[in-house]
Amino acid sequence: MAEEVIMPKLGASMEKGTILSWFKNEGDQVEKGEPLLEIMTDKINMEVEATSSGILLKRCYGADTEVDVLKPIAYIGEAGARIPEAANEGPKNESAAEITANSMDEAQGKAGETAVRLTEPLQSRPRRTPAARKLAAVNGIDLREVKGTGPNQRIQLRDIELILKNRKKATPLAKEIAKQQEKDLTTIPGSGHKGKIQKQDVLVLEQSQEKQYMNYDGLRKIIGDRMTHSAQNVPQVTLHCDIDMTEAVALRKDLLPKIEKRTRLRISYTDIFVKFAAHTLKKHPILNSSFRGDKIELHSAVNIGVAVDVPNGLVVPVVKDADKKTLSELTTETKRLVRAAQANKLSFEQISGGTFSISNLGMFAVDSFNPIINEPESAILGIGRIRDQLVQKEGSIQTVSQVTFNLTFDHRVIDGAAAARYLTDLKNALENPYELFI
């Protein structure tokens, strides 16, 4: 009996995963631990490895297909191994016609006819050899668009091989979009495995006179759905607080050469904010909690999620045990996570387990904003830019470095006074940063 490969469930909130691309075709030999396909979850893209060695007997779903977690997506086994009948009932792979392939013949490399079900009438089917039909089906080639060179224009194996030689690999959806937009796939660089063209490679702004459009899908849709759910289901309140950063700026200036010498990295204000936010959370555990229906979970660990802007959206890698790390360790860890996020190489472990989040927009011309809670956390700290501000201080008007902190919290879990106390203590800590090391 063949062994099934299932859509993994990566976390309690994951209900579906999207197949982005397959690295193996049906009939290919695979080894245990070898990357089999790439999927997209509600948080990251990741590779799914083969759970056993053998022949890839069946791919139950094609690229760009959303599948429920724990549902079989492929079968691996010895040549000739049986697979469940239900495996032939799901969405098929990359063929314009609806194909039901005999996986045993695929694994053994037989060139004979496999069971085929076409939506068009029998008389409209193009004439083709069994080998040509099989190779076309595996590679998603519509035989109705192929001109045969055999007798009576019969499509030969060499006709399909020539097409494959002269074209780039692309997912079915990418091909369809390219066809609709009259794009030449040979001119489009692919971002998938081994240069395979995916839908995002083909998607461009569609202009319609004065209007412009772009697709709302992929990571953009996932982010939108999660933020909409949070905004609609969590009673969120935001408190704003101006903080004098004069001493914190001096602290960073003092630490820059020391930390750079130890880590070869430059400490950022985000590293300092993570340190002080985590330290203050230990005094206010209700801010480091999650709403669980009829219970409030108080987390013993302080794991700070740091929002990172990436080309196709926003991801939030997590600094684990941030309250226990030194500033040198935080500088090293945050830089490592940011690099992984920008390279789309974050693991599930690196984006899970957050208890509190920070969104720092200090690099932009933003002074204040209302961040949205990253469920199931109960609070998020939004930080604007550090700016020079005239303030009355010690009986005179002075220019100070000032930043606005914006604390959004779940009012089901946290009262306004509790949030205000946390924000006040965080303000005092940053305005007197050297006391942290006493």
Total structural domains in the chain? 3
Residue 321 lies in a domain: yes
- When pLDDT is cut at 50, 70 and 90, the band that residue 131 belongs to is confident
Average predicted confidence (pLDDT) for the chain: 83
Instruction: Report the pLDDT value the prediction gives residue 96, as an integer from 0 to 100.
Output: 33
Contacts of 385 (CB under 8 A, 6+ apart): 361, 362, 363, 364, 365, 366, 367, 403
Query: Quick one: 23 and 69 in the same domain?
Result: yes
Of 61, 90, 119, which closes a domain? 119
Instruction: Report the pLDDT value the prediction gives residue 105, as an integer from 0 to 100.
Output: 36
Which of the two residues, 381 and 33, has the higher pLDDT score? Answer: 381
Residue 331: pLDDT above 50?
yes
- When pLDDT is cut at 50, 70 and 90, the band that residue 107 belongs to is very low
Residue 166: pLDDT above 70?
no
Residue 240 lies in a domain: yes
Residue 387 lies in a domain: yes
Query: Quick one: 377 and 264 in the same domain?
Result: yes
CA dihedral 186, 188, 194, 198 (to 10 degrees): -120
Residue 175 lies in a domain: yes
Query: Quick one: 211 and 224 in the same domain?
Result: no
Query: Quick one: 332 and 205 in the same domain?
Result: no
User: Which of 17-26, 173-182, 381-390 has the weakest average pLDDT?
Assistant: 173-182
Query: Quick one: 264 and 385 in the same domain?
Result: yes
Query: Quick one: 190 and 90 in the same domain?
Result: no
Query: Quick one: 112 and 21 in the same domain?
Result: yes
User: Which of 147-151, 204-208, 279-283, 357-361 has the weakest average pLDDT?
Assistant: 204-208
Instruction: Report the pLDDT value the prediction gives residue 194, as an integer from 0 to 100.
Output: 66
Which of the two residues, 306 and 346, has the higher pLDDT score? Answer: 306
* Each residue's pLDDT tens digit, 174-228: 777 777 777 767 667 777 766 777 777 777 534 333 456 677 777 778 888 889 9
Query: Quick one: 224 and 304 in the same domain?
Result: yes
User: Which of 174-183, 251-260, 419-428 has the weakest average pLDDT?
Assistant: 174-183
Of 93, 119, 145, which closes a domain? 119
Residue 43: pLDDT above 90?
no
Instruction: Report the pLDDT value the prediction gives residue 423, as an integer from 0 to 100.
Output: 98
Of 186, 215, 244, which closes a domain? 215
Residue 119: pLDDT above 50?
no
Query: Quick one: 211 and 230 in the same domain?
Result: no
Q: The domain containing residue 113 runs over which residues?
A: 3-119
Query: Quick one: 203 and 250 in the same domain?
Result: no
Which CATH number is 40's domain given?
Answer: 2.40.50.100
Greatest Cα-to-Cα distance within the chain, rounded to the nearest angstrom:
99
Query: Quick one: 172 and 263 in the same domain?
Result: no
Residue 126 lies in a domain: no
